[in-house]
Every structure is written in C-alpha cells, then in structure tokens.
Amino acid sequence: MSSPNPPKRTFRSVFWQPPRAHGDVIVDRTVSYLELLYDLVYVVVIGRASFALARNVTWRGAGEFVVVFTMIWMAWFNGTVYQDLHGRGDGRSRFFVFLQMLILALLAVFTANAAGTSGRAFAITYTVFLAVLTWLWYSVRRLDSPEYAAVAKPYLAGMIASVVVIGASAALPTEPRVVVWAVFGLSWIVGGIVLQLRMDPSLSGFIAQASLIERFDLFVIIVLGEVVVGVVTGLSAAPHDAAAITTGLLGLMIGFGFWWTYFDFVGRRPFRNDGPGRAGWLVGHLPIAMAITASGAAMVSLIEHASAGRAPAPTAWLLSGAVAVGLLSLIVIIDALAERRTWATVYDPLRVALVAAAGAALLVGWLRPLPWLLVTGLVLILVVVWLIAVFRWLRLDDPDLALPGSG
C-alpha cells in the first residue's frame, strides 16, 4: 500500500544525488554514452604521447614514453573505476565527468613535451586532475560502511599522497621530475597489487564485471587506433613509393594481429573475482596498451626508412620489443581469467607459444632486415600464435563454448 504522503521529489534530490557507496553494485550495468565520450578524450592525450615517442625513437625516448603513458593510464583507470563503481546518470556524475574532460584536454596540450619543456605545466595540470578524483573518492568514503574501510582508507590515502607528490614535482628540474613520476607509477602498480591481494574475500563481489571489462576492451581499441595513426602519419610524410606503401600496409596488419590475439584470447572474458585474479587482470592491461601504442609510434620511423637496406636499430628494437611485450602481457591476463583452468588444454600450450613468439619477435628485431621484411616477420609471428590457439579450440569437444563471442 502506497504512502498517502510520498516524499516530495526536489530538483536537488534527482539531479544532484550522492555517489553509490561501495557494495551498491549495478550487476547488469552497461557503459554509458558519457563514458564513451570520456574515453575519446584519452585518444588525444595518448596520441600526443605517441607523437613524442615517434619523433624521439631512442632508449631515452622509450623510457620517457613508458613513464608518461603509465601516468595517463593511471588517470584513465582512476576515472573509469570511480564511474563504474560509484557513478550515476544524474547531473552530479555528469558534471564531474565533464570537469575531468576539460582538465584532460588541457593535459593533452602539455603531453608531447611532458618529459621536457612542458613538464611543469603537465605536473600542475595532472595534480589538479588528481585533486578532483581525490575529492570524488573522499565523497564515497563518507558513505561507506565499516567493512569497506580496509579498502577505501588506503586507496584514499594513496590519492592524497599522489596529489602532494605530483604537485611537488612541478618545482623540480626536468630529470628529477621524470624520476619522481616513474616512482609514482611504480608505487601505484605495486600498491594496487598489494591492496587487491589483501582485500577481504567477502568484499570480492562489489565490482560489476561486465561493464568494467567493456571499458578495458574499449581502451584497447583506442590504442589500436594509434597503429592506424602511425601508419597514416608515416605514409603522409614519406615518398609514396612501393617500399613505403608496402611497409605501411604491412605495418597496419600488426594492429590487426594485436586485435585478433587480444579479443580472441582474453577480450570480453570474465576474470577471477579474487585478489590474484583482479590484480593480474588489471595490471596486465597496462603493458599491452602501452605496447600497442608504442608499435604505432614505431611505424612513423619505419615507413620513413622504408627504402633503407636495413631497418634502423632503434626502430627495429622498439617495434619488435612492443610486439614481445604485448604477447607476454597476454600471459598475465590469461592467468587471471575465470575460465583459465576450464580451458587449460587451450591456454597451457598457448602460454608456451606466447613466450616463444615473444622471443622470436626480439630475434627479428635483432636481425634488422629490410623494413617491409621486419614487419612481415612480426605479422607472421602474430598469425602463428593465433593459429595455435584456434587449432587447440577446434580440438575441444564443443569448441563453440570456448570461441569468443559465442556466449
């Protein structure tokens, strides 16, 4: 029986609601259009980081790229997980998502030279972004029940420490600043793993897996776009001869190979909802996203030298190393999947194949053949790994249950 005097709905109660507390899970939650728009801003930020690597293909440039990309990924991870766990469709959630996008657009301006002349501006802008997210996590902490304090308090403490550390780095010279950023990224990775491993098992069900998996899959698609951008950028600047066009189109197939291996091996698949499962699945996505982006940056230099007798050493190592890191990252994610043991007859030999393929990729990079031959060798390595998995799936009693997209 309805109440004779139902509570009055006000504009504030509908438009500006508090965030969802930990444990308030929307099981069948789907990714919203606002979240898709949010991810598109990272296309620009990541593109600027890739641009910086493409114009400085050196060991130093690669190291700086790893540091800056890790910071970008951490920013995306924090914003994504917050919205997935605590966001709503109300005006408050929309306001803070758009606020983050405004800050990220400014961050993109300073990203290409973040490890150089724009480092101070990048640090200040990144600190503002962290401060907004820290406030959002604090607003959740005030609503949490006591059992979630073991997770919420350390995480909030880490956010506050991050604001202080990155803010202070703005006052440092360039090289020490980059070192501080590297320590920041490593601390978050290690801290995240420890937090997941120490989490109370009774709290393991507060993540809506389907929507979170979709967001991570979409991020992989975003970085795959950098392979396309790298090929187009390289072909636009190089002479339009047969060598450049052949190298570019073959290079594009490396992006296709990454897509096939990721989405057929681990994409759209649930992870184990325990500490090691969550930690491995989350952490494994950072190096594979970084590797795909780096391969796109390498394409610019490789196409530029398409007519050379051998691929330039820095470019060959960058591209082959990116493929190797991407393949090895898949092992980490595979080991975190809920169906890892169910499909052991597929995944056990696949793990061996991925290790061998990573070694083969590095061998191709060390040999430094003609640019088009270098790319061809890496594409064939990706194809062989995929074929090994497919043949193992076909040997199952019911391969349709294991093949992606069948469920």
Q: What does the pLDDT read at residue 363?
A: 98
Question: What's the pLDDT band for 155 if we cut at 50, 70, 90?
Answer: confident
| From 5-19, 46-60, 266-280, 322-336, the region with the lowest mean pLDDT | 5-19
Residue range 190-212: mean pLDDT, rounded: 76
Q: What does the pLDDT read at residue 46?
A: 97
398 pLDDT more than 80: no
Residue range 348-376: mean pLDDT, rounded: 97
Residue range 23-37: mean pLDDT, rounded: 83
Instruction: Please identify which residue in the block is written with the tokens 């691929």.
Output: 311
289 pLDDT more than 70: yes
Most confident of 29-33, 103-107, 195-199, 396-400: 103-107
More confident residue, 196 or 49: 49
1 pLDDT more than 50: no
Burial letters 239-252, b for 16+ CB under 10 A, else e: eeeebbbbbbebbb
Instruction: Spell out the long-range contacts of 59-64 with Cβ–Cβ below 8 A and sequence spacing 24 or more.
Output: 59/314, 62/294, 62/318, 64/114, 64/115, 64/178
Provide the percentage of residues in the chain whose pLDDT is more than 70: 91
Question: What's the pLDDT band for 405 if we cut at 50, 70, 90?
Answer: very low
Residue range 292-296: mean pLDDT, rounded: 97
**CB atoms inside a 10 Å sphere around CB 222:** 18
Question: What's the pLDDT band for 275 if we cut at 50, 70, 90?
Answer: confident
Residues 15 and 90 sit within 8 Å (Cβ to Cβ):
yes
Residue range 42-68: mean pLDDT, rounded: 96
205 pLDDT more than 60: no
199 pLDDT more than 80: no
8 pLDDT more than 80: no
Residue range 310-339: mean pLDDT, rounded: 96
**CB atoms inside a 10 Å sphere around CB 260:** 17
Beta bridge partners of 271: 337
Instruction: Please identify which residue in the block is written with the tokens 């469920």.
Output: 407
Q: What does the pLDDT read at residue 12?
A: 66
- pTM (2 decimals)? 0.92
Q: How far apart (Å, rounded) are the C-alpha atoms in residues 292 and 297?
A: 9
Q: What is the pLDDT of residues 223-265, one digit of tens each?
A: 999 999 999 999 999 999 999 999 999 999 999 999 999 999 9
Interior angle at CA 202, CA 335 and CA 149, nearest 5: 110
Q: What does the pLDDT read at residue 406?
A: 44
